[in-house]
Structure 1
Amino acid sequence: MLEMNALCLVLAYVFLSLLMLTVLIRLALPRLIKIGAIGAASLFYVVVFFSTQGLLGWSAPVGVPARFQVLWTRIVEPNVIQGEAGAIHLWLEELDAANLPTGEPRAYRLPYTANLARRVSKAQKEIEKGNLQGGRAEFFGTGASQSVPAGPLQTGAPPGGDPSGGGLFDPAFLGGQSRNVDLVPLPKPALPPKDMP
């Protein structure tokens, strides 16, 4: 059902773009305006492509929440022969300050690094033993979780659990994947005290 909705959404953009191009051909507008309109319509194809990834249930290549519970993981090792860089898929549920769930579970995709793969593998073994695992994400160069980068990015290593090497124009940074993912045993929720009668 979601795949059909995504296909219909893309087809709707194609139809509207073709309609706009047909109208633009007939209008007596400067060529620069026509080129700009065509460029804007093409840009929306890219926006629709990335927006529909979340609808289809794929692991989204976006930044993980600041605090989360790890529900399950999957590590895809790099394959040099086939030219695949590998990936780490995390199924996470966002947590509030009291370690209570605040949203629905979502699948995230992080670039593969050996360091992150070791930590995720260890967390997965703990989950299989029945020990809840949580985590937090911090931007590099900061000491606390934040929604925007507050300090300079470190260079020299790949993103996804190691310092980012691409700076502000690194696609992984733009997607929020250059956050340091720290996996730890999940503390119990901080519930308010019960009133005793």
Structure 2
Amino acid sequence: MELQKEILGLSIAYALLAALLLIIALRARVSWQLKAAAVLVTSVYYCVAFFRIEGLAGWSAPAPLPSQFQLLWARVVEPNPLDRDPGAVHIWVEELDAANLPSGQPRAHRLPYSAALAHKVTAARDEIMKGHPQGGRAADYGSGNGQPAPEGPSDVSTLRPTAAPGGDPMSGGPLDLSFLTGEAGNIEFAPLPAPILPPKDGP
């Protein structure tokens, strides 16, 4: 619903720009043919923009993953040299907060393909199909002191939910070539930890 509101807001913004152009055109000392053409082109443009932006809904975004999340589903697209398709790993995730509870809306992410990442994601998806919810962590988020992120599977309940995107200097991150090419083992999956509930009041 939020995405639909953003699309509607952008469309209204284009319409307001068109109205502003109309006001300027009416006061400008140019031929009516030029004024009509400018208004027509602008009107067609914001109509096209509305439908083109609406078509973006549902596409996987090449955006950084949250530091900890629940994996909802995944799809691996194998590289196809004949079509010059480098492949991709699409995952649908929901961010988790410090109590291992959903703290945002589900979002689709597109990650660069690598055989190691594809294997991890496929294994996690198989566990979901068996009825075992999977949590994930972005291992390129460092420890906060310039040290590399720990390697190997980890319990997602030990993550630092307040970690800033990008990681530590030695731990990769969205600007690291190994991260962009998908070669870094920067995502780990583990069984989804139980929510951390507040202590019950005593009798």
TM category, shorter:
0.5 to 0.7
2:39 is aligned to none
Corresponding pairs, count: 156
Task: Give the corresponding residue for 2:197.
Answer: 191
Pairing partner for 1:159 from 180, 190, 196: 180
Pair 158,104 (structure 1): closer, same or farther in 2 beyond 3 Å: closer
Structure 1 unaligned segments of length 5 or more: list them. 27-47, 164-178
Q: Contact 1:67–1:136 (CA<8 Å) still a contact in 2?
A: yes
SS of structure 2 residue aligned to 1:127:
helix
Query: In 2 relative to 1, CA 95–4 (structure 1 residues): closer, same or farther, beyond 3 Å?
Result: closer
Q: Secondary structure at the match of 1:194?
A: coil
Q: 1:144-194 CA deviation, whole Å, 9 max, x = no partner? A: 76324321466774636533xxxxxxxxxxxxxxx9211111111111222
1:76-115 alignment, distance < 5 Å:
76-115=77-116
- Structure-2 separation of matches of 1:194 and 1:6: 44
Q: What is the TM-score normalised by the length of structure 1?
A: 0.62
> Are the equivalent residues in 1 in contact too, given 2:64–2:165 (CA < 8 A)?
no
User: Equivalents in 2 of 1:132, 1:124: separation in Å?
Assistant: 9
Question: Retained in 2: the 8 A contact 1:160–1:181?
Answer: no
User: In structure 2, do the counterparts of structure 1 residues 67 and 184 end up closer, same or farther at CA, with 3 Å as the change threshold?
Assistant: same
Structure 2 unpaired stretches of 5+: 29-48, 143-147, 150-158
- CA RMSD in angstroms, aligned pairs only: 3.8
Q: 1:147 aligns with which of 160, 164, 170?
A: 164
Q: Distance in 2 between matches of 1:13 and 1:57?
A: 22
Tell whether the 8 Å contact from 1:6 to 1:56 is kept in structure 2 after alignment: no
Give a deviation string over 1:20-58, Cα, whole Å, max 9, x none: xx99xx9xxxxxxxxxxxxxxxxxxxxx9xxx5896121
Bigger Rg, which one = 2
Q: Which amino acid aligns with 1:85?
A: P
How far, CA to CA, are the matches of 1:122 and 1:66 in structure 2? 20
Amino acid at match of 1:162: E
Percent pairwise identity: 48
